[in-house]
Every structure is written in structure tokens, then in C-alpha cells.
Amino acid sequence: MDKHLMILPLRNMVLFPGIQVPLLIGRGSSISLVKEAWEKKEWIGVVTQRDPDKDEPTPPEDLYSVGTMAKLLDLVQEDEGLRIVVEGMQRFRIIKYSESLYYFVAEVEIIKEEEATLEAKRTMQEVKKAALEIVHRVKMPASVAKAGKEQISQISHPGQLADWITVFGPFEVEKKQEILEAIHIEERLKKLSHLLKETEVGMDVKEKAGKEVFKTQRAYWLREQIKAAQKELKEMGESEVSSEISDLKEKIAKAMMPEEALKAAEKELDRLSYIHPASAEYGTIRTYLDWLIEIPWSKSTEDNLDINQAEKILDEDHYDLQKIKKRMLEYLAVRQLKPDVKGQILCFVGPPGTGKTSLGRSIARALGKKFVRISLGGVRDEAEVRGHRRTYVGALPGRIIQQIKKAGSSNPVFMLDEMDKIGADWRGDPSSALLEVLDPEQNFSFSDHYLEVPFDLSRVMFIGTANLEDPILPALKDRMEILRLPGYTREEKLRIAKQFLIPRQLEGHGLSKEQLEFENEAVEVIIRDYTREAGVRNLEREIAGCCRGVAKDIAAKKIEKARIKAASLHGLLGPIKFLSELAERTSKPGVAIGLAWTQYGGEILFVEAARMEGKEKLVLTGQLGDVMKESAQAALSYVRSNVAKFNLETNFFEKKEIHVHVPAGATPKDGPSAGITMFIALVSLLTQRPTRANVAMTGEITLRGRVLPVGGIKEKVLAAKEAGLKTVILPKMNEKDLEEVPKEVRDVVEFKFIEEMEEAIKIALEEN
């Protein structure tokens, strides 16, 4: 049955059928509603507000949809409003609200109380038992508790029992509303049973919490007594706190920390003042405060923005490396025009010994910044970067914050060495931890696990170094500007040795220029016959070996001075360590000279091919990787599919075995760039045309006969030049890479660029 009711909203209360309650009405609209209902002797609908703090609720979103029809039993006018007594009669559900001027009117559906099932009566007994237990445990006057127990025991209807217990139970308004909206009696009792169990558990927790609260209150009063005692001591002329606490407070004030760090420091200092110095926690907090104080939050060095002076310093420290020097001067120019530019994040990639780490020191000197570095080689624990949380014994900040503290400046040049050798295991991935460090959009608020306050790294100039680019995490690589340092030519090594290495070793061994002199020819022999590298590290070691030999003779009074000649190197350094690979030049067919790239620079590579009786089989040896093996198979497949072009018999591979070998079998080799070399070696073998002895080549091949571009062109060309080769065959698409090759090399080496594999045959093979 549907009917219209005037709706009275209530705050923080739910009215149930069969319950009489007094109410104080204060809202103007509610007073008008009650007076009119009293005069007309009509029932009203009582509905609970969802938000009790809302003074003027708006239906239907601010009111629950299920309420209770109520009869007005009494009405008294008071100063603060109307005092009324209502009795709940029946549940109803609001269908829709009608328009009204002063109060809410709604069309409602009356909900009839159903008959109790046998299951409901069984559940009622459990609810009674739980309710009586709670009444017994709740602290209240004995008379009230007795009346409550009697009332619970006397109610026989399950629905009425659920309503009565819910009204007087210690439940939240939302929970009571859920009980009101439970139409089926069995559902109502189950919800109430669940609420009673929660209440019982909550009372257990509250009792336990009460004991903890007592301890906390006692600790609070004891601290207050300590404060009072300290205050009394101060009035008597004694110090309020220890001199150590005063000293720390003064240091914190001078540290000029940002607001968040200052709050953390003051909070920990306050804790420290109440802890006994012999406590282990005292030492932990003291160490943490020392770190906060000593970190250079606002200390920085003034950058040297004089471009000419910076260029002079870079030239003094390093030979060549024009690309990187140009990049540093561009950075200074930008700093002059925009002083607040964010710190640069660079990564130097190149073979060992090419000066990556020393270049970082030189950049710091040129810019007038402090220089710090950490080596990431073998680092596997993420905590090395971010630090350990203070809950661990002996916890410390990560190496980033440690080095910033060591620098004593918030804007140093920070070198991250050996980035390609970072490890990762169950302890974490340090590469991922570096993502925040090396991102200018995030590192202004870098959070170390130990400090737990943000530190601004945006003014730090980060420089990474790596021998290889591929092992670096792609997301990390994306955050850095990659600058490649190629290997040096023999001429460049000679200049570096004369300008930097020899003077440094003379000074390091206590020798003067008058006591020891190196001839250019001797240095060239050391470079050619005693070292094989892209950098100059081993070259410096050999020069140091010469210096030690001369220093020994001078100290023994055997000589007063010496001049190092090529002929005297055998006595100082022993027999030569590297023979020229071109001693293997041969006019026999089946041998081709290739060019390879390694992390130590370029090398020449011989590919040998032989044919013998056997099964139709291709044998590959020389510790070749999968990619290199596939290149050999592709070369053979191309030859077999184009026998007419090479004047070969169709069955040349039938009952034959072809063996391709790459010497230096103990050294692993891989990559696609030897494809064209293997192709030429096979064609030379099958056509019995020997290769020209002064020609080397590099390039990837396809089954369609195309020659694709490869990397490491500069290093490969330098290796060819040092080996005395006159002609180098390169893919056409690598022509642009010759810009990186020094002019003195381009002047003596002839370059042939090819797009098709057959073009290499005319250049590399002798005529029949």
C-alpha cells in the first residue's frame, strides 16, 4: 500500500518500530512539519541523514531511502525548539519525493513485518545470549543492567528483539541503518549477530589498549616531571640540557637545512634529550643527526663560466677529444645565458684506457667544481645507492649521499664509473635505483632510505662511464647523453705519450728530462710491438717500466743519464709481445682479411676456408657465436643459389665438406660484421682466386646479396691502418661514419664502398 508522508530528517539517530524516543526539533522546516502533523493528528515519516553535519539536507541523495512511520505522542514548546515524543510504528521505503514549500513530502511504500521462521527463532537465542554477555561486561548502573537483561529475556518475537537490541546497542548509525533496511527477519538477526561479535572483540581490544594507554599516560607524566625538574634546576642556576644537546641545537641552526629536514632534525633532537646517553638508541639518533648536520644542504661552489680558461684547462689535461670538450664549452655558454639550468647527465662510452675517468676530473677542474666518484662495478645491492633504513643495525646512507657529504658541496661533478658492470640479484637492481638519481624531473627530491627526507640532486653534474653501451639498462641509457670515446691512432698515442705520459712518469720516478729522454722511434716501437689497445693505459705501463730500469741504474751509480732508443727496448722491456698479423699474408686461395671491433679497439681478423671430401656439410670453428655462424651459413647459401655468377658447378657442394675457421680459437667471437669476409673467403676457395694481401673488409650480408652497415668503423679503420693495409671495403651506408676517422688515416687508406656482395669480389680477389 502506497501513501504520502511528511518526512522528518534526523541526525545521528535511527528510529525503529515499537520504540518510543524523545526528540528536540530545532530546524525551521522540521518545526513547521511537526506542528502541522500535531494539529492534523497525522503520522510522520522519520528518516536518518547520511551526513549529520549537513544543516539543510537535500533529498534523495542526503537521506536514506528506508525509514520508520511514527506517531506523535507529546509536544512541548521550549526556548531552543520543540520537545516531542514519538513512537515508531512500521518500516517504509521512499518511492519518490513530492514538491513542497516548507518541508519534505514523499510517496512511500509500507513494509509489512513477516512471520518469523524456525531458523529465525533459533538464531534469536544466539543473539539473546551474545547481547546478555555484552550487557554484563559494559560498565553501567546495576539497576539499568538488570532492567536491560529483563527486557531482552521477555521479548519473544525475533524481529522485535533485533530492533530493540539495535536501538540500545553500542553501534554506529550506519550499522543501525543496515539493520533497519534488513526486511527479512532472519537476515536482520544474522547482521545483528555479526555486530555483537565485532563489539565483543572490540571490547577485548579496548581492555588491552587501556593497559597500554595507562603505560603511555604514566610515561607522559614522568616526562612532565623531568621537565619540571629541569626547569627547577635552571632556576637554581643549573643547565637546562646537556652541553651536547646545546651543541647539536646550534649546529642544526647553522646547517641551513630545508624545512622538511629541519623538522626531522628537531624532532629527533627532542627525542634525544629524553634518552639516557648509555642507551643504544641514543647512539643511533646521534649518528642520524650528525649526517643531517654534515650534509651540504645549501653549500655550493661558484662555477667558473670563463669559456677560454676552461678550454685551456681541458687542453692541458687531455689531447684531442674535441667532441667532448666542445660539449663542455657549450654547457658553460648555456650557464652564462641561463644560470638556473639543470645539472647535465652525460655518459662516456669507450674502450679502457681512453681517459674517461680522468676526463671527469678535468671537467670538474675546468668548471671550478668539486669532484667525487663511485665505482659501480659489481654493485648488486640497491641499498648501495639508496641506503638502508634506520631500523637496521649499523645503517648508513647510500653512496650517493655519502659522496655528496664528502664533496662538501651540493653541486659537484659526480662520476658514476663502470655503469655497464652493475649486477642485479635478489637484493635488488641498482640500475633501477639510479633511474631517479639520473632524471632531472625527479632528482630534485631524491629520497635516501636512511635520511627519509628529500635531497636536491638537480644541481649535480652526473657523468657516467662504460666500456660497452649494450649492458646498460635501456631506461637508464635514455636518461643520459651518450658521448663515445673511440680509440687513438698511433700518431695520437705518440703525441699523448710525449705530452702527458712521459712527463708524468718521469716525475713519478724522480727523474728529470736531462736524466732520461725517449726517442720518437722508441715510443713508436713500444706502441706497435709492446701494446695492443685502443687506449694508452698499457703504453703508460711500458713507459713506466723503462723509467724503473733507468732509475735503478742511476741509483746504482752506473749511469748519470740515459736516452731510450728502439734498440735498447729489448733490454728494458724484454722481447716484443705482439707480432704483425700481416706476417700471415698468403697467396693461397681461401683466406680473407676482415676487421673486427672489440671493447679494446679494432682488430684485423683472418677467415680461412678449406674444402675436402665428405658429406655435404659446413664446419665452423674458432669459438664463433651464433650470429657469426649464421653469417657463414648465409654466405654459403648465397654462393650455392648463384653458382652461375661465380662459374661454379651446380654440384660443387655434393659429397664435399667445407670448413671455415677463424684463428685465435681461444678468443670468443660473434657479430654479423664478418659476413662479407666469410663470403670472400668461400668465393676465393671455390674459384681458386687468392685475395689481395693489402685489402680488408667488414659488412653484414643478406641472402639477397646486399651488404648492410655495421658499427665500430673508426676502430676498425684504425686497426687496418696500423696493420699496414692499403684498401678497406665498407658498406655504402657506412660512408657517413668516415667523418670520425682522423684525416691522417683517410689520407693513407683507400676506401671502397659497396652495396652488393659481387662488388667485393672485383676489389678483393686477384684475377685468374
Residues 272 and 375 placed together within one structural domain of the fold: no
State the Cα–Cα distance between residues 385 and 399, nearest whole angstrom: 5
Q: How many CA atoms lie within 13 A of 652 on its CB side?
A: 20
| Domain extent at residue 659 | 581-764
Q: Please give the pLDDT value at position 230.
A: 59
Q: Is residue 441 part of a domain?
A: yes
State the Cα–Cα distance between residues 366 and 347, nearest whole angstrom: 18
Q: Please give the pLDDT value at position 29.
A: 86
Grid cell 649521499 is found at 401
pTM of model > 0.85: no
Q: Is residue 192 part of a domain?
A: no
CA-nearest of 720, 597, 737, 593 to 670 is: 597
Please report, for residues 241, 266, 439, 473, 474, the alpha-carbon distance to residue 478 in angstroms, rounded to integers and kept in the order given: 53, 40, 10, 9, 6
Q: Are 22 and 96 in contact (CB under 8 A)?
A: no
Residues in the chain, how many? 768
State the Cα–Cα distance between residues 726 and 749, nearest whole angstrom: 5
Residues 595 and 562 placed together within one structural domain of the fold: no
Q: Are 707 and 700 in contact (CB under 8 A)?
A: yes
Residues of the chain scoring pLDDT < 50: 205-206, 209-210, 212-213, 237-241, 583
Cα separation of the two ends of the chain? 113
> What's the CATH code of the domain at 523?
1.10.8.60
pLDDT in tens, 439-460: 878 888 888 889 889 998 888 8
Three cell numbers at 660? Answer: 671455415
Question: 545, 573, 601: which is the final residue of a domain?
Answer: 573
Residues 742 and 602 placed together within one structural domain of the fold: yes
Single-letter amino acid code for the residue at 609: A
| Sheet-wide strand order for 413-417 | 371-375, 413-417, 461-466, 345-349, 481-484
Residues 345 and 380 placed together within one structural domain of the fold: yes
Judged by DSSP in three states, 563 sits in strand
Q: Please give the pLDDT value at position 313.
A: 83
Q: Please give the pLDDT value at position 692.
A: 87
Q: Which residues are catalytic?
A: 673, 716
Residues 11 and 91 placed together within one structural domain of the fold: yes
Residues 540 and 664 placed together within one structural domain of the fold: no
Q: Are 601 and 718 in contact (CB under 8 A)?
A: yes
Judged by DSSP in three states, 253 sits in helix
Q: Please give the pLDDT value at position 240.
A: 43
Q: Nearest 5°: phi and psi at 109?
A: -115, 125
Q: Please give the pLDDT value at position 224.
A: 66
Q: Which H or E run contains 9? A: strand 2-10
Q: Is residue 223 part of a domain?
A: no
Residues 7 and 72 placed together within one structural domain of the fold: yes
Residues 8 and 96 placed together within one structural domain of the fold: yes
Q: Is residue 548 part of a domain?
A: yes
Residues 22 and 46 placed together within one structural domain of the fold: yes
State the Cα–Cα distance between residues 370 and 509, nearest whole angstrom: 28
Three cell numbers at 27? Answer: 530546524
Judged by DSSP in three states, 84 sits in strand
Question: 43, 77, 111: which is the final residue of a domain?
Answer: 111
Q: Is residue 668 part of a domain?
A: yes
Radius of gyration of the chain (CA): 45
State the Cα–Cα distance between residues 381 and 394, nearest whole angstrom: 16
Q: Are 736 and 713 in contact (CB under 8 A)?
A: no
Q: Is residue 148 part of a domain?
A: no
Q: Are 8 and 46 in contact (CB under 8 A)?
A: yes
CB atoms within 10 A of CB 119: 13
Calculate the CA 95 to chain-centre distance: 56
Q: Please give the pLDDT value at position 172.
A: 86
Residues 604 and 743 placed together within one structural domain of the fold: yes
> What's the CATH code of the domain at 99?
2.30.130.40
β-bridge partners, 416: 374, 464
DSSP state of 424: -
State the Cα–Cα distance between residues 538 and 3, nearest whole angstrom: 101
For 179-201, b where at least 16 C-beta lie within 10 A, e where not — what string? bbbbeebbbbbbbbbebbeebee
Give every CB contact of residue 49 below 8 A, 6+ residues apart in sequence.
Answer: 9, 10, 11, 57, 62, 63, 64
State the Cα–Cα distance between residues 619 and 596, nearest whole angstrom: 21
Residues 604 and 710 placed together within one structural domain of the fold: yes
Three cell numbers at 242? Answer: 646537556
Q: Nearest 5°: phi and psi at 598?
A: -125, 170
SS3 content of the chain, % helix, strand, coil (to 5): 45, 20, 35
> What's the CATH code of the domain at 646?
3.30.230.10
β-bridge partners, 71: 87
Which stretches does DSSP call E strand in 393-453? 413-417, 446-447
Q: Are 404 and 295 in contact (CB under 8 A)?
A: yes
For the chain, how many structural domains are there in total?
5
Grid cell 653541486 is found at 411
Q: Is residue 95 part of a domain?
A: yes
Residues 683 and 735 placed together within one structural domain of the fold: yes
Single-letter amino acid code for the residue at 675: G
Q: Please give the pLDDT value at position 445.
A: 84
Q: Please give the pLDDT value at position 233.
A: 55
Burial of 361 (0-12, 13-18, 19+ CB in 10 A): middle
Q: Is residue 201 part of a domain?
A: no
DSSP string covering 144-212 = HHHHHHHHHHH---HHHHHHHHHHHSS--HHHHHHHHH--SHHHHHHHHHHHHHHHHHHHHHHHHHHHH
DSSP state of 456: -
Question: 463, 484, 505: which is the final residue of a domain?
Answer: 484
Q: Which H or E run contains 271? A: helix 259-272
